[in-house]
Structure 1
Amino acid sequence: MRTILITGPGGSGRTTVAAATALRAAAEGVPTLVLGADRTDTLGAALGTATGPAPTRVTATLTAWRPDAGARFREDLTAFQTRAAGVLDLLGAARLDAEELTPLPGAEELSLLRALRDATLSERYELLVVDLPAAPRALDLLALPEELRRYLRRLLPPERQAARALRPVLGRLAGVPMPADWLYETAARWDVELAAVDAVLADRDTAVRLVAEPGPAGADAVRDTRLGLALRGLRTESLVANRVLPDDLPLHGLVAQQRKALADWTQAFDVTAVPHLGHDPRGAEDLAALAVPGVNTAPAPVEWPVTDQIEEDGVLVWRIPLPGAIRDGLDLVRRGDELVITVGGFRRIVALPSALRRCTVAGAALREGELRLRFAPDPDLWPR
C-alpha cells in the first residue's frame, strides 16, 4: 500500500488538499482510504459527506475515516483496569466507569497512529491518504512511536522478563514487589503495535506532502517542517502551494510575496501550485477543480549512508541529510551507542550503526544541508 502523509501550517488548507488528493486517486480507479485527525469534521465538510468513527463510503473507490479517540481511550483504560484488578483491589482503589472516562492529552495521537496501522494492514485499499494535524503537532505525532518504544525498552527491558523464577527472591532482597507478567506482556504488545507504525513511516512507499500558502509565514513554516521531517528520516515528496492568486494580477503586495515564495520553493521542492478558487472548496466538484499532484510518482528513498574513507583519511563518514539546518542551531552529543541530535528546535536520539559503535568521534561538519560525522576506528575495538 502507498501511504501519503499530508501536513502543513494551520489554516493552509491541508485537509482540503488531502481530500482532493484522495478523491483524484479514487476517480482514477485506485481503492483509497482518507484518514482524518481533526476532532471536528473538517474532512467531511470538504468531501461533502459526514465522516466519523466508522469508515464511510464516499464513492465506489473512496472511503473516509475519522477515528474516535475517546472511545478507544475508554476501551484501553477499561481493559487495563481489568488486567490490574488484583493490584487495584490491594490498594483499595475505586474503579472508573467507562462513562466517566475522558481522553487524556496524547489519546488522540495514539488513536490516529493505531488507525494508520490498522488501515495499512487492510487489503481493501491500495492508497492511504492521511490528513495529519498541523505542523509542528504533526512532527510530535510522527516522533511518538519511536520515542515510546525507546521509553518502554528502558523502563521494562524485555530480557529481564526471563528472570521470572527469580522474582520472588529478588523482591525479598530488594524489599519491593517485582513487575508482574501482565506488565511485561502489555509492554510487549505495545512495542509490537508501535513497531508496526514505525514500519509504515519507514516504508519506501510512504511519503510526506507539505501544504502551505506562499508568503513569508508559509516559507518559515515550510523550512522548519522540512527540517523536522528530515531529522526523522521522512521524505518530503512534494510541496503543494495552495491558494495561489492568478498571474494576471498586478505584481505587488500579496501577489509579489507569493511569486517570491514560489520562486524560492521551486529551487528546493517539487512544487505544485493550486490556484485560489475564490471560495472555500466544498464537495466533489470543487475538489476535482483543485490541481493537486497525482499519486503515481515513486518517492525517492531517504538514506543515512556510512561511507568508508579509511584508506584515504582513516575515517568512516556518516552522512545525515538535514536540509535547512544552520550551524548555530546544531548540537551533537554521543552517549554510549547513541547519538543525540538537536537541530532547529527538534531533537532525536538515534542508535549508531554497528560499525560506528567501535569508533570514536573525530569531527563533524554541516555542508550543503548535510551533516557529515567523522568516526575514527578505536584500536582497542576495531579488528586488525
Structure 2
Amino acid sequence: MAKRIILYTGKGGVGKTTVAAATALLAAKKGYKVLVISTDAAHSLGDSFDMELGPEPKEIMPNLFAQEVDVYYSVEKYWGKLTEYLQSLLRWLKVDEILTEEFSILPGMEEVSSFLWVYHHFQDELYDVIIVDSAPTGETLRLLSLPDVARWWIVKVFPIERKVIKVIRPAMKVVTDMPLPEDHTYDAIEELFDKLDSIHNTFSNPEITSIRLVLNLEKMVIKETQRAYTYLNLYGYPVDSVIINRTMPKELEHPFFEEWKKTQLGYREEVEELFSPIPTFEAKLFSKEVLGMNSLEEFGLNLFSKKDPIRIFFKGKPYEIIKEGGSYQLLLKLPFVSKEEIKLFQIKDELTIQIENHRRNILLPRFLADLPVKEAKYQDEMLRIIFEKKERKPRG
C-alpha cells in the first residue's frame, strides 16, 4: 500500500495547486515514487507543471506521476451500473437522449469519483505517497463528510429499500414497463459505499493521511481556514500543518507595501496562535508566476527548506474516551466555536454532534450504547460529553 496520503485544501485561490505540485516534485527528487492527483474541477495542475495531463496517471519525470480527474471518464469507471439504470429510467420517461447522459450524473458523483481514484491508487501499492490537490474547502468538507452519511444510509435505509424493491418487482413488471433497479445495481451501490467507508478509515488514520490547510494572510481566508479546521476535527481527520502562502518578502522595500507587510505580520502572529501546536510553514510571494519544474522546485525548497515534505509534522487524537469519577467521558477537540453553536443528539448507540450545517454521527462502543448523556461541557476548545453512571443491580 501507499505509505502516505497528503491532502491540501483551503479557500479558492490561495495556491493549493502550487503547494501540492511543489511538494510532489520535492518528494520525487528525494527518491519517493509519487502520484499527485487533482480533484478540483478547475484542473490547474497541468498548468502548474506547464504540460498537458489526462484522466489516468502520466509520468512527467522520474518517480513523479500526475493525474487530473475527468468527470465523465470517472463516472463511467466507478458508477457504471448506477448510471446505466438512471439512463434507462430517463429514456423510459422520454427525456431527450443528449440530456439523458447529462442528467444521469448526480450531484456529488464527480467529487466522490475523485476520492475513489485516491482509494484505488492507495490499494494498488504502486506509489510511496499520493498527494491530493483538492477542491476548495467547502466542497472538500462536503466530500469528507459523505462517508459518515453513507454509513448511516447503508445501515439504516439500504437493506429495507432493497427488500421492498425485491418484493414489488414481479408485480410492477405486470402493470408497467418502468425499469426498476436490479440486484446487480444494488450490489454496485453497496460496493461503492463499502469503499467510501474504507476511504474514511484511511483518511482518518494519522499514520497514513495528513491534511494540510493552505491560507493567505487575509482576514476572510483565515476565518474560513478556522472553520475548516473545526469541521475536520469534528469528522476526525488529522491536520498536520498549516501552509501560509504568498507572504511579503523582507527584501521588498517600498512605501506602497509597508502597510501590507505590517498587516501580514499581525495576521502571521494570529495564525501561529490560533493553530498552535500545529506547525506552520511559510512560502514567500515570488516575483513571477510559479510555473514549470524549476520554479516549483525553488518554491518547494523555500517552503520546506531541508525538511522531508512527506513526513508527519503533527499527530493528535480527534477524540478519546476516558473514565473519570466512575463516569465515562467522550472528549472531542473543537476549536473556533462557541458552545451555543454545538448541538447534541443521542439515539440509542448513535451520538450526533452538529455545528451549523455539518454533523457527525459517532457510533458509540457497546459499553456506552445503553448509557444516556448526562451533560456536555465546552471549555478550552474541548467538548466533554459525560455519560450517566451505570447503576449496579443489587444481587438477588
User: Which of 292, 304, 324 pairs up with 2:303?
Assistant: 292
Deviations 1:277-312 (A, max 9, x none): 022210111111112332123541424211112xx3
User: Which of 213, 222, 228 pairs up with 1:219?
Assistant: 222
- State the alpha-carbon separation in 2 of the partners of residues 331 and 69 from structure 1: 36
Backbone CA RMSD of aligned residues:
3.4
Aligned to 1:280: 289
User: Which of 215, 239, 243 pairs up with 1:240?
Assistant: 243
Deviations 1:104-136 (A, max 9, x none): 421211210111111111222100100110111
Alpha-carbon distance, 1:237 to partner: 0.6
SS in 2 for 1:266: helix
- State the alpha-carbon separation in 2 of the partners of residues 58 and 377 from structure 1: 60
AA matched with 1:271: T
In the superposition, the TM-score normalised over structure 1's length comes to 0.86
SS in 1 for 2:343: strand
SS in 1 for 2:372: strand
User: Which of 362, 372, 379 pairs up with 2:374?
Assistant: 362
Aligned to 2:176: none
- State the alpha-carbon separation in 2 of the partners of residues 223 and 67 from structure 1: 28
**Structure 1 unaligned spans of 5+:** none
SS in 2 for 1:356: helix
Kindly indicate whether the alpha-carbon contact (under 8 Å) linking 1:215 and 1:254 is maintained by their aligned counterparts in 2: no
Aligned to 2:175: none
Q: Aligned residues, how many?
A: 375
- State the alpha-carbon separation in 1 of the partners of residues 45 and 225 from structure 2: 22
Deviations 1:224-247 (A, max 9, x none): 111011111011110110001012
Alpha-carbon distance, 1:354 to partner: 2.2
AA matched with 1:308: K
Aligned to 1:13: 15
User: Which of 267, 272, 275 pairs up with 1:266?
Assistant: 272
What percent identity do the matched residue pairs reach? 24
Alpha-carbon distance, 1:94 to partner: 6.1
- State the alpha-carbon separation in 2 of the partners of residues 341 and 170 from structure 1: 42
**Structure 2 unaligned spans of 5+:** 173-178
- State the alpha-carbon separation in 1 of the partners of residues 110 and 137 from structure 2: 15
- State the alpha-carbon separation in 1 of the partners of residues 40 and 395 from structure 2: 54
SS in 1 for 2:146: helix
Q: Do the aligned partners of residues 178 and 358 (structure 1) sit closer, same or farther apart at CA in structure 2, a change above 3 Å counting?
A: farther
In the superposition, the TM-score normalised over structure 2's length comes to 0.84
SS in 2 for 1:359: coil
User: Which of 98, 107, 111 pairs up with 2:109?
Assistant: 107
SS in 2 for 1:273: strand
User: Which of 327, 331, 346 pairs up with 2:339?
Assistant: 327
Aligned to 1:209: 212
Kindly indicate whether the alpha-carbon contact (under 8 Å) linking 2:241 and 2:314 is maintained by their aligned counterparts in 1: no
Aligned to 1:31: 33
AA matched with 1:244: T
Q: Do the aligned partners of residues 215 and 57 (structure 1) sit closer, same or farther apart at CA in structure 2, a change above 3 Å counting?
A: same
Alpha-carbon distance, 1:159 to partner: 12
Pairing 1:350–2:350 present: no
Matches for 1:296-311 after TM superposition, within 5 Å: 296-297=311-312, 299-309=314-324
Q: Do the aligned partners of residues 247 and 76 (structure 1) sit closer, same or farther apart at CA in structure 2, a change above 3 Å counting?
A: closer
- State the alpha-carbon separation in 2 of the partners of residues 303 and 382 from structure 1: 38
Alpha-carbon distance, 1:71 to partner: 2.1
- State the alpha-carbon separation in 1 of the partners of residues 162 and 84 from structure 2: 24
AA matched with 1:223: Q
Aligned to 2:263: 257
- State the alpha-carbon separation in 2 of the partners of residues 169 and 379 from structure 1: 50
Aligned to 1:141: 143
